[in-house]
């Protein structure tokens, strides 16, 4: 995480070496303002195009769907929204082969459903077996409307260089 943060800062500060502090602040502000304006336009276009969820979420869901054929829903209780999903082949790094999913509590034994706040592959398998739309289990933060709110705010300009 520290490396990622350092890389992000290096990208923003690229080309500002040996400049006075005021010039570095000004350059950083200008680059962030341009980024916010560009991302705001992109997000607005996606929102106007009818896209409901962010592209990153859709990419993650597609990745989780890749191996759904290797999962088998072995037990389900539709009333309680509890499912048991069994891995047909072991997955690298996971020793567990059976997972309990509770849709009403938005939990899965793998822990990804709770931590990421969108359906993991086991939850997607349970939803597919019960013909339940997975979109209901996605946290609202992944909607395009929420993403647009981040970039909708005005990016204020620096009033006075002395300040």
Q: Assign 107 a pLDDT band (cuts: 50, 70, 90).
A: very high
Radius of gyration of the chain from Cα atoms? 22
Q: Is 150 helix (H, G, I), strand (E, B) or coil?
A: helix
Tokens of 86: 């069994």
Average pLDDT in the 149-156 region?
79
Our CA angle for 130, 54, 149, nearest 5°, is 125
Helix H or strand E segment including 92 = none
Question: What pLDDT was estimated at residue 161?
Answer: 62
pTM listed for this prediction: 0.71
Mind listing the pLDDT tens digit for each residue in 130-145? 888 999 999 999 988 8
Average pLDDT in the 61-79 region?
85
Q: Which long-range contacts (CB under 8 A, 24 or more apart) does 140-143 make?
A: 141/117, 142/53, 142/54, 142/56, 142/57, 142/117, 142/118, 143/52, 143/53, 143/54
Mean pLDDT of the chain: 84
Q: Is 73 helix (H, G, I), strand (E, B) or coil?
A: strand
CA-to-CA distance for 37 and 35, rounded, in angstroms? Answer: 5
Q: Does residue 62 have a pLDDT over 70? A: yes
Mind listing the pLDDT tens digit for each residue in 16-41? 777 788 778 888 888 888 888 898 88
Q: Assign 7 a pLDDT band (cuts: 50, 70, 90).
A: confident
């Amino acid at each position: 995480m520290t490396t990622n943060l350092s890389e992000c800062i290096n990208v923003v500060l690229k080309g500002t070496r040996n400049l006075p502090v005021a010039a570095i602040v000004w350059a950083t502000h200008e680059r962030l303002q341009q980024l916010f304006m560009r991302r705001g336009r992109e997000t607005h276009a996606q929102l106007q195009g009818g896209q409901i969820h962010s592209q990153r979420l859709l990419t993650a869901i597609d990745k989780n769907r890749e191996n759904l054929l290797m999962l088998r829903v072995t037990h389900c209780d539709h009333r309680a929204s509890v499912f048991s999903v069994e891995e047909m082949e072991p997955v690298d790094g996971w020793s567990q082969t059976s997972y309990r999913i509770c849709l009403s509590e938005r939990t899965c034994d793998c822990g990804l459903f709770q931590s990421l706040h969108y359906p993991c592959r086991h939850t997607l398998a349970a939803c597919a077996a019960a013909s339940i739309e997975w979109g209901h289990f996605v946290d609202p933060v992944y909607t395009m409307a929420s993403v647009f709110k981040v970039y909708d705010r005005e990016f204020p300009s620096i009033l006075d260089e002395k300040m």
